[in-house]
Structure formats: structure tokens, C-alpha cells
Structure 1
Amino acid sequence: MILRPLFNQHHRRVFSSLHRLLTNESIVQQHQPPPPSLQPTPVNSDHLIRVCTILFQQQTFPDSKLQSKLSTCVFQLTHEFFLQVCNRFPFSWRPVHRFFQYIQQTPSLHNNFAHTSVSFNKMLDVYGKARNMDLLWETTQQAGQLGLVSDRTFVIVLRTLASARELKKCVQFFHLMNDSGVEYSLRRLNKVVEALCRDGLMEEAKYVTLKLKDTIPPDGFTYGCLIKGFCDIDDMIEASKVWNLMVEDGFDPEIQVFEKMIETFFKKNEDTEAVKVFQTLRVNRMEELGL
């Protein structure tokens, strides 16, 4: 198994500086407080149970009957109330979708309730777990048109499509969202790749990365996720291939990536390969080992 040599010290310093800058910006964004409109509001549990009971019992009824029944039920529709309804049906798409439709059909009864990316993501999560691909795809397009797509949307949708082996749609989703005004983003791609690798969907994660490479060039973090992910499933051939792609593109693997490769080679009793990786680390990154 041949791993390409790493690039020079100057390149490493440049990319390390950029990585620190992007990481710091990401931390600041993650700690932004949620807007007041998304703060949880108390939900009347009796009203919630009543609404969910109707949705469950009449989920296959015609719209007119379900709408009539829900309209006679007293409840205050808030953002939190909608999320709680979704939580009651985590794997059942029909009650959630029927409630969503009811809200759209009766806006005046609920003070023109407005959805957010959080509520759309909650629906998408339910549709995905229920494996309703058609409804998932339709709802993502609607979210894009309404400007309610977030990084979490990408993770939910790509996890669902990848686990269903809808590889072309995984790539198509990025293009579709870009056409809807959600521009291509390396940060977003990295979150998707990281999530897919965490789920063990390695072939799918690599496919998305390479198919989008000309549009969203991957960085060291992207490649690092793939390498560690392939190590997690003991596929060192693929891990080495990604390593070589990473070096060809001018990125220096992080120390954690070296450690993962060495650890996995030893675990597979491939001591010679483990020593080769360690020697590469020792020669090129001695100052970072703290030895």
C-alpha cells in the first residue's frame, strides 16, 4: 500500500492558518443565541394529546372531515406545539403531513402561523425516517423556495438519500438548492460528509465528495473525515486512496488522521504499513509530536 509523500512546510503553515481562521468563525456562529421567535413556549398537554389523537385516528380521512374535526378542537398553534406534534409521530409521516396541510389550508384560524427552518427540518426528519422519499423531495423543494433551508436540512436529507442509495439525488440536491438561492458551500459539504462518515455510509460520502469536487473543492477536513471513516470500517485500501488524493490536492493530513491510520493498521496486524505511516509523520511533523 503506497502513500504519497506530504508537501512542504510553507504550505502547511498557510493551510493551518486558514483552518484556525475558519474554525474560529465557525465557533462564533455556533454560539449565536436563537432568535426570540424560536424560544420554546409552554404547550398545553391536554390540547396536544387531543390534536394528536385526532391526527392518528383520522389520518386517512378526507381533508374535509379531518379539517372539520381539527377546527372544533381548541389549541394554540405555536412553533413549539408543531414540533411537539412531530415528536409524537417520529416514524409516521402521514399524521405530520396531514397536520402540515391543515395549517396551510386554514391560515386565518392560526394567526397566519409561519414555519421556520427548524419546523421544516423536523418534518423532513420524520419523512426520512418513514422512508417517504417522494414527500421528502417535494418538501425540500418547498423549503428551498421559502428560503427555509439550513445546514441541518442538508444533513437530514443527505443522510436519508444516502442510506437509501439514492446517490445521484444526493448530488442533485446540492445543485437544486443552489438554484433555489442556497449557494454551494464547503462548510455545508463538510457537515454532510462528517455526518455520513459517522453513520458508516463511506461509499456514499466519497461519491458525493468526488462528484461535487469541481463545484465544491474539498479541503483537508473533508479528506480527513473520509480517511478516518474508512479506517473505522477497516477499509485501509480506500483510506489510502483518499490519503493520496488529499496529498495530490496539496493538503497535509492532521495529526489525528495519522494516528487513526497507524492505530487501524496495527489493529489489522499490518505492522509494516503502520510503521511506514509513523515514519512519514516523524520525518515531516516531528515538531508537532511533542517528543
Structure 2
Amino acid sequence: MNRLRAIVVNLRFLESPLASRVTATRSLLLTRNQVTHFSLCTPSPLLDNSHHFLLPNIHQNLYFSSKPNSIVELVLTSDWSKGLEQELEKCYPSMTHETVVYVLKRMEANPEKAWCFFNWVSAKEWYRPSSSLYGLILRVLATEETIKLFWITLRTMKTKGFYFDEEMYFPILAGFKRKNMNKDRVSLTRFYSQGIQENAMQIVVTKVVDIISGSEWGDEVMSNLAKLEIRMSDNFVTRVLKELRNCPLKAYEFFNWVGKQSGYEHDTVTYNAIARVLASTDSIEKFWSVIEEMKSVGHELDIDTYIKISKKLQKNKMMEDAVKLYELTMDGSYKPSVKDCSLLLKSISASDDPNLDLVFRVSKKYESTWHTLSKAIYDGIHRSLSGAGKLDEAESIVNHMRNAGYEPDNITYNQTIFGFCKMRKLDEACKVLEEMESCGFIPEIKTWTILIQGHCVANEVDRALLCLNRMIEKGCNADAAVLGVLIGSFLGQKRIDDAYKLLVEIVSKHGTSPRHGTYAKLIDNLLGIGKLEEALDLHCLMRNHEFTPIIEPFVQYISKFGSIEDAIKFLKSKGTPRSHSVYFRVFKSLLGNGRLSDAKDLLSKIPYISKRKKILELFSSMENCTVHGLSHISQ
């Protein structure tokens, strides 16, 4: 029996009325000590592998039979030479846009070979590179080791008439910033800015976009487009589609209109471009119609487009569509990687109530391509089952994972602890942690975070503190995430003083740097109960951690409830910027709350600020308003 089919069948049985009666009877036997049978160190005696989940312990070798993978293997295992080029030449005419994109994506870790391959194929008469292909190779080459090749390729792209657009620019710029490649970051910004000014095609693109976005699609729009006498090309069409990405249905109409123009026919590049635009909630039906149309004319999504669309669908919680797209792409020539599958499973399991049907559809499709289930895929299934509260089934997956040669690790234990915490079975979660340590695994910060958060969600904040103390005793310092969870729980119970004391202690004794949001919430709550001194202490700590100071809550508190002495304390606090704009905000807020006398009193205590033009104008305008109001009343 197929392994995943066995799992699905077993789960469906567990959800049936008969299973409810069987598991209800069985639960009576397990209630007293529900975790005694749950062990990841050894297979469970209560779950007999001979009767459930018929997963054979077979390690299959992975063989690639598809053309794209053969090309990848050939390039990666050979030095670049004339002989290699001759071998690659034999792959024509199967060297399509989709194939080239697939090969480059699989060679991201080998940028020099990726560049050799790109250079070779783009020089061929029978191959026409596209803007999206240049964007891909530039992302691959944007490293310190291959930066010279990056600039050579970027300038070649420009001379060939391709536009370096914002979709290429911003990710590469972010990468340069992340890697501290500051000179290249400055040069790239200059190149991009010059490109905008010099690019003549952009003027026509802007006109087209303005016509389409300014009106409802109809005869008038099509007539105005026809008057422009546009010279259609893949480069032009893809640029217009990118500009219309926030109006996907109008982009779809433009795409169809272009396809009907005399002498022009959409190819795989433009089909991939419109697919990227349409993969959103309000245009998903059009997206699937384009996918069907692509198949009917012999085109496929390239792997770079698949990855971007899949991430977009997952981000928008469109999991059914993400899984459907995965199944479709796995049936094609350019299959997603193990990593892509694992990320999809992780996204599904991140839901509050993971859809197990989607999990098994993904896993089954992965396995059907003759892959052995990898550790990452087992983890994805186990994570989803744990998150759905199906802890016995999750344990069975661990047993089958072990049979396949993969021993439980920190990931497995973390997910198991998460499952118990989600079901509010905190004692069982703690026992799994003990078992984890007894098996020689060291709980990491993520493990403790899951356990502490589980206690906090169950409103067991004091027990969460005990977990924190135990974590620190084990030599694992609290990080910003753990501290944020605990502070949030204390605030939820209105234990504001306890939250303050905990944060100060953890920061002073263990050097933890809380998140900006944690500081902001705690300061708001402290001011809400009149604890200005404590709030100012946190304000100083924020400065020590180089955070942007929080000003507005203090200004509002002082203007409504504070004394002049409170205002001076705030303005002279180490955490408050020595900025005239801060003084201005305090005075403006005091005056806005009708405290003119207090504002004047405060101004008299800090005379050096009274000569500022902006401050003088503020008081002058307020006094004029007061005089005008009194004269109006006397009349």
C-alpha cells in the first residue's frame, strides 16, 4: 500500500463514528498517565507498526530522468569547457526559457557556473534571453565573490535594451545592505536612477498604464491604446504587466488585448508575467484560466515564477490554491525542490487548525515522483498533526520516520511539545522536555519559548516563570521573544508591576535586549497607572539598546495628568532626545488641553527654549485666540 495513502486512510478512520467509539474506550486506559506511552526515544508499544501505517523501511536512490535535471547534473559535475558546451548543444531544442530558468535556480549556490551557463545560452542564435532571466542571473551573482560578474551582466543587460526595474532593484539592494556591500549599494542606486531617466520605453509604458488604470476597460481604452501605435515585444508587455500588478483584472484585459494584435503572439515569458500578477484573491479565477491556457499551447510556469507565486499564495493564506499549484507543477518537467515542499508544509501547519487533507496531498504528490520521504517532509507531516491536536498519529509518524532511518531530533521534540501545549496538556509537555534531555538532546531557546508560551496562553503565568528560571539555570538565556511573551501575559493579567520588575531584572542580569514593541506596551501600561518614574527608567533602557525613543505616550500623559515637575523630568531624562521638536510637542499638547498657565510656568523654568521662533509663535497664536475669545464673549 502506498505510504501516504495508508496514513490518509488511517486518519479518515480515526475521524469516523466507529473510531470515536474505539478511541473513547481506549482513552479510558490512557487517561491516568497519558504520557507514559509517549516516547520519542523508542517506538511506542501501544502502536503496532504491523497494523498501522504500512510504511516499508526502504531507502530509494534518487534518479533524475527529466531533461532539466540532467542538464543541471551535467553542468555541476563538469568543469566549463568546449566539450561541455558541445554536450549542452545537444540539448537543443529542449533548451526552452523554462529549462534555462530551472537550471539557473538549481545552480544558485554555484554562481560562477550559473554565469557560465547563462553566458553560453544567451549567446546562442536559437535562444532569446528575457528581462526576467536577466533578473534571475543578477540575483544569483549579487555576492561579494561574483560582484564583478554582476556588474558585467548588468551593463550587458542595459546594452541589449532590457530595463532594470524596481522588482529587480529592491531585492538586490536589500541583499547588498544585508551583506554590508555599501559601495555596490550606492552604485546600484545610481545605476537604477539613471536608467529611469534614460529609458525611452518607460515613457510609452507609463502612457499605457495611465490609460488602462484611469478608466474601466472598454472600447474607449482599447481605442486610446491603438492610437499609440505600440511596437509590441515581450520586454514591453512584461513591463506594463508589472506596472499593473495592483490592478490584476485590468492587467488580464490588457494581456488578452495584446494577444489579439496583428503579428504578436504570447510566449512563455509573457504567460509567466501575467501569472505572477493574477495570483491574488480577487483574480484567482483568471489565474487558473491562464494556467489552463498555458498548458493548452504548450507552455509551463518557470520554476522562479512558481516559487514567487507559491510564496505569495502562502502569505495570503490561500493554501488550497498553493497546494493545487504544487501538484500541477510536480506533474510538469520543472519540479519544485524538497525545500519548496517543506516550506509549503510548514505554511499549512502554521494555521491554528491545519488542514490535514492539504498536508497529505502535498506529501503524496512528493512521494509519487519516486522520492523517498525526506526528514524535512516527515517533519512537515509531524508538525501538522501536532498542530491539529492528533498527537497519537503524530507519534506514529515519528515511528515511521525512525523506520525510514531518521531519528528524532530537536525539531521533532519541539513540535511534540508544541502539540501538547496547544491542547493545554502542560504536564505532558514538560515530561516530553524531560525525556528530550534524558535522550541526550539539549533544549534550545526555541524549545523553551514554545513551552513558556504554552503556559502563558493557558494563563499559567507563574508556571511559565518557573520554566524561565529552569531555562536560565540550564545556561540558556532569555531572548526578546521569550521576554515579550511573558511581559504580554503579565499585562494581560494586569500585573503591570510584575511585568516591569521582570523586564528590568532580565535586562540587567542577563543582557537581554527586549523588542521595541515590548517596551512600548509596558510603557503605555505603566503610564496608565501613573508610574512615570518606572516608565522613564524603561525609556533610558531603550536608549541603551539604540531604539527609536517613544515620545507620544509621555507627551499625552504629561499634558493630561502630569505636573510641571513631571514635564521637566521627562524633558531632562536620558532617554528623551535633546530636540526642540520634543519641547514643542509638550508645549503644544499642554496648550491643546487648556493648560496655558502651566505651559507658561514650564517655559519659565527652561528659558533657553523660550527664544526659539517656533515656540514663540505657538504661545503667541494661543494668546491671540484667548484674547479673541474673551472679546467675542464680552460682545
When normalised by structure 1's length, the TM-score is 0.64
Whether the 8 Å contact between 2:320 and 2:358 is mirrored in structure 1 is no
Counterparts of 1:127 and 1:68, CA distance in 2: 24
Matched, 1:203 2:361: no
Matched with 1:50 is 207
Deviation at 1:7, TM superposition (A): 6.2
Pick 1 or 2: higher relative contact order, CA cutoff 8 A, min separation 6. Answer: 1
- Report deviation, 1:242: 3.3
CA distance in 2, matches of 1:230, 1:90: 37
Q: Are 1:150 and 2:303 counterparts? A: yes
Shift of 1:181: 4.6
3-state secondary structure, aligned to 1:216: helix
CA contact (8 A) 1:262 1:278 kept: yes
**Any conservation in 1 of the 2:241–2:273 contact (CA below 8 Å)?**
yes
Q: C-alpha displacement at 1:192, in angstroms?
A: 2.7
Relative distance call for 1:59 and 1:246 in structure 2 (3 A) is farther
Alignment gaps of 5+ in structure 1? 9-13, 19-24
Let me know the Cα RMSD of the aligned residues: 4.7
CA offset digits 1:134-175 (Å, max 9, x no partner): 3121222234430334265267369749945758x945x555
Instruction: Tell me the residue number matched to 1:123.
Output: 274
Q: Secondary structure at the match of 2:217?
A: coil
Contact 1:227 1:242 in 2 (8 A): yes
Q: Separation in 1 of the partners of 2:443 and 2:433?
A: 13
- Is the 2:353–2:388 contact (alpha carbons within 8 Å) kept by the matching residues of 1? no
Work out whether 1:194 is the aligned partner of 2:346: yes
Partner of 1:139: 290
Instruction: Quickly say closer, same or farther: Cα 1:131–1:243, change in 2 above 3 A.
Output: farther
Partner of residue 216 from structure 1, selected from 358, 363, 366: 366
CA distance in 2 between partners of 1:164 and 1:196 (Å): 10
Distance 2:365 2:273 in 1: 29
Amino acid of the residue matched to residue 150 of structure 1?
A: I
1:102 counterpart = 2:137: no
Distance 1:239 1:107 in 2: 61
Letter paired with 1:101: N
The alignment partner of 1:203 has SS state of coil
Q: Provide Cα deviations, 1:172-216, integer angstroms capped at 9, x if missing partner.
A: x55544555556875553343234446x37623x32231354443
2:431 aligns with: 276
> For residues 6 and 82 of structure 1, what CA distance do their matches in structure 2 show?
58
Distance 1:85 1:121 in 2: 13
TM-score by length of 2: 0.34
Higher gyration radius (CA): 2
- Aligned position for 1:242: 394
Change (3 A) 1:60 1:236: closer
Larger displacement relative to structure 2 (129-138 or 237-246)? 237-246
Distance across 2 between alignment mates of 1:280 and 1:72:
75
Moved more, 123-132 or 266-275: 266-275
Task: Give CA deviations for 1:59-115 in whole Å, capped at 9, x if unaligned.
Answer: 5214xx654432332656565644443343334322111221133222636xx6644
Map of 1:90 onto structure 2: 245
Aligned-partner Cα distance in 2 for 1:61–1:248 = 59
Which residue of structure 1 lines up, in the alignment, with residue 80 of structure 2?
none
CA distance in 1, matches of 2:272, 2:42: 41
Secondary structure in structure 2 of the residue aligned to 1:49:
helix
Matching residue's letter, 1:86: L
User: Could you say if the C-alpha distance between residues 48 and 230 of structure 1 is closer, same or farther in structure 2, counting changes exceeding 3 Å?
Assistant: farther
How far 1:240 moved relative to its partner?
6.5
How far apart are residue 245 of structure 1 and its match? 1.8
Partners of 2:330 and 2:366 within 8 A in 1: no
Report how many aligned residue pairs link the two structures: 265
Contact 1:185/1:216, CA 8 A, preserved across alignment: no
Contact conserved, 2:268 with 2:299, CA < 8 A, in 1?
Answer: no
Q: Which stretches in structure 2 are left out of the alignment for 5+ residues?
A: 1-33, 44-57, 63-75, 77-102, 119-128, 136-161, 164-198, 368-372, 445-474, 476-635
| Identity fraction in percent | 12
Partner Cα separation in structure 1 for residue 291 and residue 440 of structure 2 = 45
Amino acid at match of 1:46: I
